[in-house]
Amino acid sequence: MEITSPSNPRLRALARLRRRRDRDAAGVTLVEGVEETTLAVGAGARVREVYWCPDLDDGRAEPLLRTFADQGLDVVRLSRQAFEKVAYREGPDGMLAVMEAPGIPLEGFDPGTPEFLLVGEHIEKPGNLGAILRTADAAGVHGVIAADPVSDWGNPNVVRGSKGAVFAVPVVSATTPDTLAWLHGRGVALVAATPDADLLHTEADLRGPIAIAVGAEKEGLSALMLAAADIRVRIPMVGQVDSLNVATSAAILLYEAVRQRGAG
C-alpha cells in the first residue's frame, strides 16, 4: 500500500496520536526513527502499524524492513510530503511505527533481586524522562517508576529521548502513596536525593535492595516521599547554580550505585 496525499484520513488519525488522550484511548504510542524502532522491536515491543518513506531512507532501514517482512507485517509506503505530515521530529529518516504503549501495572511489576530501581516523582519534561531511561538502561536498572507522573511513558518525545530504551527497561506509573507502599512491602530501601541532606551520595550504602528517588527540578521530591525515605543523600555542589538537571542527578546517583555494586 502507498499513500501520497498528506490529507489522507489514515494519516490524520496517525497525527492525532501525538495527543495523550488519543494515545491512551488506543493504548499505543508513536516510535519514529530507524534506531529507536530497531531497539524497540529488539526489546519485544508489539508493532501495530509501520510507515516508511523510501525518499527519506538512506539505506539504514533495510534490516528493519526485512524483519517486518519476516513477521508478516505490512509496511505502508509514504511519499515525502505525506511522511512529513505525520513526522514529529526534525530531520526524519523515513521510519515511523505505531506500537503498543510501554508500561506495566505496579501490581504486576516483579524486578530482579536485589532490587535496583529508580523512582522519578512529578517529572514534567518528556526529554528528561527519556534521558533518564537511557541512563537507567546503561546502568542495568531493573525498572523505573514514575510516581505521580506528569508525562506518560508513551509520549513520543519520551520514546525519542530514550532512543527506544522505554521498551527495554520495565516502566511503571503509580501514585506516590502506592509507590511507597509497594517499596515498603518488598523491603526496598528508598534513597531520596535532596540538597538538604547531610549525607553525600558517595557515603551512602547503595549495595542492597534500593530505589533511588529524584524529583522535578523546580520543587524536588514531595514531603511525603522525603518523609518515607530510609536514606537521604545530596550531590555536592560548589558553584552558584542551586540545582542540577534531574536527568544529570539521576545519572550521578545511579552510577555511584553501579560502582558500589561492582557492576560493569
Ordered by where they begin, the domains of the chain are 2-100 (3.30.1330.30), 106-261 (3.40.1280.10)
Q: What is the 3-state secondary structure (H, E, C) of 115-173?
A: CEEEEEECCCCHHHHHHHHHHHHHHCCCEEEEECCCCCCCCHHHHHHCCCHHHCCCEEE
Decide the pairing of beta strands 95-100 and 47-52.
antiparallel
Helices 34-42 and 62-70: angle between axes, nearest 10 degrees: 40
Please give the pLDDT value at position 237: 83
Q: How many Cβ atoms are within 10 Å of 142's Cβ, its own excluded?
A: 19
List the chain pLDDT tens, one digit each, 264 residues: 899 999 999 999 999 999 999 999 999 999 999 999 999 999 889 999 999 999 999 999 999 999 999 999 999 999 999 999 999 888 899 999 999 999 999 999 999 889 999 999 999 899 999 999 999 999 999 999 999 989 899 998 899 899 889 999 999 999 999 999 999 999 999 999 999 999 999 999 999 999 999 998 778 999 999 999 999 999 998 776 666 789 999 999 999 999 999 865
Give residue 240's pLDDT.
62
- pLDDT value at residue 181: 98
Structural contact between residues 158 and 91, judged by C-beta atoms closer than 8 angstroms: no
Q: What is the pLDDT of residue 70?
A: 93
E strands, the chain, where? 2-3, 28-32, 47-52, 75-78, 95-100, 116-121, 143-147, 171-174, 189-193, 210-215, 231-233
Region for residue 59 given its phi and psi (left: phi exceeds 0; alpha: psi -120 to 50; beta: otherwise) = left
Q: What is the pTM of this model?
A: 0.89
Predicted confidence at residue 121, as pLDDT, reads 96
pLDDT of residue 242: 62
Stretch (H or E) spanning 245: none
In the numeric block, the cell 530505589 is attached to 211
Q: Give the pLDDT score at 263.
A: 65
Query: What residues are paired with 52 via a beta bridge?
Result: 77, 95
